[in-house]
Copies of this chain bind each other. A is one copy, B any other.
Amino acid sequence: MNSETKFLLPEDRIPRAWYNIISDLPEPPAPVLHPGTGQPIGPDDLAPLFPMALIGQEVSAEREIEIPEPVRDVYRLWRPAPLYRARRLEQVLDTPAHIYYKYEGVSPSGSHKPNTAVAQAFYNKEEGTKRLVTETGAGQWGSSLAFAGNLFGLDIDVYMVRISFDQKPYRRAAMETYGARCVASPSEETESGRAILAEKPDSTGSLGIAISEAVEIAAQNDDAKYALGSVLNHVLLHQTVIGLEAMEQMEMAGEDPDIVIGCAGGGSNFAGLAFPFLGQQLRGGRTRRAIAVEPMSCPTMTKGTYAYDFGDTAHLTPLVKMHTLGSGFVPPGFHAGGLRYHGMSPLVSALVDSGLVEAQAFLQTECFAAGVQFARAEGIIPAPESTHAVKAAINEAERCKEEGTKRTILFNLSGHGHFDMQAYTDYFAGKLTDQPHDESAMREALEKLPEVAAE
């Protein structure tokens, strides 16, 4: 075992291929269905939205998909990302556990999102896209796509959930620094947006609405395509650079994780870290616990249904089989952080359903408490989303102490919280609560799941 605090890889150890977990799954993923016919869709159905290279990756069964050199070249700006041993946190917790974290906050936009943003921008540029349209919540994804699009000479339009647009202008400023256009959603620019505004002029927006707006623009404009920051297979694929690097770094540290943890909104940062490890296991390697952590106020995996549902509010997207709270679900107003999506990546959902991935949910105040404890021990202030992974890791480390057992815990610190200090301010001021949960709203949204013929 190594005495270092952080484990760094040289640039030539940036992975040369992404890892595709579909290749190792015992059965193929449930098909994606056409919203009109209920029948499985083909590449042509997706062509208005995505470049063919990404559609190919979405359905590929190859284990390794080569990372193009221009993408690796941009990755060099921050990758390989460091892996840390949380020695000071271990001391504070007085635990026999060894805690490691992969730190993705070193990227230009401060989170893991550029791993896929750069790849998506590259393939779009290759296939002649002029403009990429997307949605964003608090802005982690929007600022990352703005960064990536700028490097490849694409125009970037971001539909940003209005409440974040108004209350969290800092990531918007980052998007504009990178040259992107940022529009509050719902907007007057789309049919979907106008329909929402007609019904509710003071709508504060949701991710589902912003997705509808972005998809609509992409579908109607030949030179525009759509980009999604999580959920889809190709997005999770691109994030596997996290886990591939972490495997090599854990070897440098002379350890092998017993537990792998990531927070999960759409599932991409969790999958990015966990899939390479789960792939080993699926190919006959050792069994590890993989924990996907979500907020109790958007409990997709722990309280949702595993069923076909739409990805957006206006029902413009195909139907995917996933854990969902219903496409009309909006997290309660007291929920401060990200991880607000009504659904979950189909791949992560299938693994949760099969028992290979464990889902846990925590209250936001206990996550912030864990984030503060982490910051005071390790120095880095976690993004509110990442505090969910921190909370789960601390829980497991405390369990090790109770049981007197040494386990090796690895979690993904998916981003720093420097853009999110208002949430910490609110937490310290006692303004963050965990109530009231509106169980009836959740049930109502769940009752509206589409009926699907093909199942």
Interface residues of A (CB under 8 A from B): 4-6, 8, 10-11, 73, 76-78, 84, 88, 106-110, 147, 150-151, 169-174, 176-179, 372, 375-376, 378-381, 416, 418-419, 421-422, 424-425, 428
Asked if residues B8 and A10 are in contact (CB atoms below 8 Å), the reply is: yes
Asked if residues B8 and A173 are in contact (CB atoms below 8 Å), the reply is: no
Contacts of A150 in B (CB 8 A): 376
Asked if residues B110 and A418 are in contact (CB atoms below 8 Å), the reply is: yes
Contacts of A372 in B (CB 8 A): 177
Bound-state CA distance A402–B444 (Å) is 68
Asked if residues B381 and A174 are in contact (CB atoms below 8 Å), the reply is: yes
Asked if residues A77 and B10 are in contact (CB atoms below 8 Å), the reply is: no
Asked if residues B173 and A425 are in contact (CB atoms below 8 Å), the reply is: yes
Could you show 28 A-B contacts with beta carbons less than 8 Å apart? A4-B76, A5-B11, A5-B73, A5-B76, A5-B77, A8-B8, A8-B10, A77-B84, A77-B378, A77-B380, A106-B106, A108-B375, A108-B378, A108-B379, A108-B380, A109-B379, A170-B170, A170-B418, A170-B421, A173-B421, A173-B428, A174-B424, A176-B424, A177-B372, A177-B421, A178-B375, A179-B376, A418-B419
Tell me the minimal C-beta distance from A177 to chain B in angstroms. Answer: 5
| Chain B, Cβ-Cβ closest to A426 | B173
| Chain B, Cβ-Cβ closest to A424 | B173
Tell me the minimal C-beta distance from A113 to chain B in angstroms. Answer: 12
Bound-state CA distance A421–B170 (Å) is 5
Tell me the minimal C-beta distance from A370 to chain B in angstroms. Answer: 12
Asked if residues B147 and A177 are in contact (CB atoms below 8 Å), the reply is: no
Please give the count of copies of this chain that the complex contains: 2
Contacts of A84 in B (CB 8 A): 77
Asked if residues B76 and A6 are in contact (CB atoms below 8 Å), the reply is: yes
Bound-state CA distance A422–B171 (Å) is 10
Contacts of A424 in B (CB 8 A): 173-174, 176-177
Asked if residues B173 and A379 are in contact (CB atoms below 8 Å), the reply is: no
Bound-state CA distance A108–B105 (Å) is 11
Tell me the minimal C-beta distance from A451 to chain B in angstroms. Answer: 46
Known: A77-B84, A173-B422, A176-B424. 11 other contacts (CB 8 A): A4-B11, A5-B11, A5-B77, A78-B379, A88-B151, A108-B378, A174-B421, A174-B424, A177-B372, A177-B424, A419-B421
| Chain B, Cβ-Cβ closest to A176 | B428
| Chain B, Cβ-Cβ closest to A425 | B173
Bound-state CA distance A107–B381 (Å) is 11
Bound-state CA distance A178–B374 (Å) is 10
Contacts of A421 in B (CB 8 A): 169-171, 173-174, 177, 419
Contacts of A107 in B (CB 8 A): 379
| Chain B, Cβ-Cβ closest to A376 | B150
| Chain B, Cβ-Cβ closest to A8 | B8
Asked if residues A77 and B177 are in contact (CB atoms below 8 Å), the reply is: no
Bound-state CA distance A421–B418 (Å) is 11
Asked if residues A77 and B379 are in contact (CB atoms below 8 Å), the reply is: yes
Asked if residues B173 and A376 are in contact (CB atoms below 8 Å), the reply is: no
Bound-state CA distance A379–B171 (Å) is 14
Bound-state CA distance A421–B424 (Å) is 17
Tell me the minimal C-beta distance from A426 to chain B in angstroms. Answer: 9
Identify the 4 closest CB pairs spanning chains A and B, nearest first. A108-B379, A173-B421, A170-B421, A5-B76
Tell me the minimal C-beta distance from A382 to chain B in angstroms. Answer: 10
Bound-state CA distance A428–B375 (Å) is 32
Contacts of A179 in B (CB 8 A): 376
Bound-state CA distance A150–B88 (Å) is 12
Bound-state CA distance A420–B296 (Å) is 32
Tell me the minimal C-beta distance from A88 to chain B in angstroms. Answer: 7
Contacts of A172 in B (CB 8 A): 425
